Structure 1
Amino acid sequence: MTEHGVRWTTEQVLALAPDAASRRAGSKLGAAGPWSGAGGSGEGTVWGLCKGSGSRPYQTVVDLADAAGPAYKCNCPSRKFPCKHALGLLLLWAGGAEAVPVAEQAPDWAEQWLTGRRERAQATQGVSETSFPAAGPEAARRRAERRAERVTAGATELEQRLADLLRGGLAAAEQAGYGLWEETAARMVDAQAPGLASRVRGLGSVPGSGPGWPVRLLEECALVHLLDQGWLRRDRLPAGLAATVRSRVGVPAQADGPPVRDRWLVLAQYDTADPKLTTRRIWLFGAESGHTRLLLSYGAAGRAPELSLPVGLALEAELSVFPGAGQSRAALGERFAAPAPVAVRPPGLSPAEAAARYGEALGGDPWLESVPVTLASVIPTPDGETWQLADPATESALPLTPAARSRPGLWRLVALSGGGPVTVFGECGHHGFTPLTAWPEGPGEPVTLC
């Protein structure tokens, strides 16, 4: 149905949903009942009419052939992308050719949108940043110097506030409440150091968070102090560590690594949100290079980020990494083909090897929360009130993070395992392991856990 002739799985379609509510609503529309005039082309487009509450059905069309990922059009009033109708249409298409047969010609309303998209893509092709006037290098240097001065002033002020906190005793932090930390974070925003602001807000959530909070607060204060000192002494640091410090402080940087072309398997995709921003994290694994890379995409509050890549598909594209020691984040460059299924899995480690990899990574980035890791032949096992992923062969195990234990994905993982070994991709850090995607021991499709 796509240019590769392979229909997606239900899991791959549902991975596109912007939230759980859309996933449930789209699943209800994945049957033939509400649909009419559904069809698709060999070029990777799907369309259909979905009966709604009004007198006229909703016109829904999806373009799967775009190398940038699926594009959607529906005349329903939803502000989510994809909407529940687009998800339902894709689920119907994933069910087989009987529900969504191949057609020679798309209806006029679908063809008009598809033609317009491709004409706009052709019109913008070849336009690059060099087509626009850019500020000279001297102006850029002066802006960078002014920002560095502001960040230095903010870091110096934050050092003084940390010293005041320790001088007065950690017990005072609980009495002061969250307002003290929010005011300090606002000062870091004014200093153009959003990374420091985020860490300060994190400090505010520690006091009174349960037994042992003073120890945790001291640990977090030490990491903030280390980052402050790293910035203030960045000229004495190795280049890679200095770049990591700039990144952690929040100074923007461009991906400057050489482009690596590969077939990038989509390992996981999930969103995190705050009142102002939705951040989408997409983990990729290079079939040829063996690299694991992270793409970040952003959307305004309440709206899903534009970039969406279904888990289990592979995208042939170029990626360039950002500067920093052991940096996993990359920028997506030129794309050469639409995402398509591929029989590739990342190589796995034992739990002990995964923990050692995280420890090694901390040497280059002491503020690193976790590293991407694939565990091979592990069994989800209860451990008192918690769960762990155990490897009987190496007699090693990793506990699941508290967040992972509260997700429905844990029970999908347990059901997939059935007491036997599975392959699990996730993030391994000082709080434990967060599983994101799992595969059965033998042949089988990936199961998303986030």
Structure 2
Amino acid sequence: CTTISESGTYVLTTNVTNRTANPCISITANNVVFDGGGHTLAGDKPNYGIRVDNGAADQSNVTIRNVRAEGWVRAISVINASDSVVERTITTDSIEGVLVQESTGVVVQNNDAHDNALGIHIRNAERNVVRRNVANDNKWGIHLEFRAKENRIVDNVARNNSNQDLMSRQDSTANVISRLDIGSGTFSFVTTNVALKGTDSTPSGPSDRGGVNSSASALAATSEELDPALDSLTVHYRNASGDVSSLAVWRDDGGSWTELDSSVQGSENTVSTGNVTEFGTFAAFGSSDVSGERVILDISPPTLTERSVENVSAANATASNGTMANETMGNGTMTNETATAGTDTTTGTATMTETATTTETTGAAATTEAATTTTGTTSSTTATPSPTETDTNTATTASADTTGSATVGGDGAGGQTTETTGPGFSLLVGLVALLAAGLLATRRGRKR
């Protein structure tokens, strides 16, 4: 394990198991891309896996991607940072899968967090974006706490989490959740101190009412300074028939159903209500002839791309303005591909316009989404997301995957570090040879 204290693109070229390092990978520099090379970092619960934190609040432009981290207290953590990206990672068997703390402008996208206590954790952080992640089978899927504010949670799947699929607590306010698939339906809402969880099945509705087979259980977080509330709650549906205009959001308090003031957006296949301060089970019902299906987001866990020393370095054995630096990390090797001359392209910015149509299949099949996404593209080794989104709620966004190639220097295959300093080794050798020749000539002259 090691500390990354210089800007550059670093690639892990083998699996690493380390039970003592804390953290295993410490990133303290700005402008860093850490590519796990599709490999696994395995550790022990008291320790951190990958940690971005230099002790100050000005660290920025760090990307972590393409790595599996398991067995840590915090598998991947971004602390006191801005304009950074965590993407295409798998975190499991940890207390916290991905943590964003005291940070802003961080994009967490296309990750899989499963079998953790907290899948994705946003703590005391503002204006970050969490999108197209899968957070299943944790205790809490997506967890917002300790004054997490104005974050965007867009197009995520959080199912079968034992406590809550999404939790907002400790005065976390103005967090906008757009299209969260909790298994029993897909919902959008703006929350303050409220938790949401999928139901085992859609409960029986009021008599003489038809529904769209979507339901969610919401409860208030307790002992909070701010009153729990859902500023808005939207139920998404598909393939609806009958008098769709009669749909409304209803609440079951455990004894009876109550219809809430609602509005239907037929072109968007949604029905919404606002200012929810009483909680229970929510579902959408209409006249008796209404029927429909819940929306299932077609978001899959990422596939990691394995990279070895050979495929990292062999094709690009030389580079200008870049050096190869291999560091032994326990039983693993990390390759510093470029200092500042990389050609890595990251399409991970948070500026996007969601304007697309949705193509859906019937029956049990998932919704297939075709979306036009406008994203910023950052060349070189930095990623500079700006978490400003225009969300028209017309469809889910296409995956903003990351592709990259980096030009490397040095002897990558041999795992050696090649560095030259001062006037250069060849010049030094020439000077030594000249001095030796002069000394030899002097001695020969004396002998004569």
TM range (shorter): under 0.3
Q: Which has the higher contact order (CA 8 A, sep 6+)?
A: 2
**Structure ranking higher in helix proportion:** 1
Q: Structure 1 length normalisation: TM-score?
A: 0.21
Bigger CA radius of gyration: 2
**Structure ranking higher in strand proportion:** 2
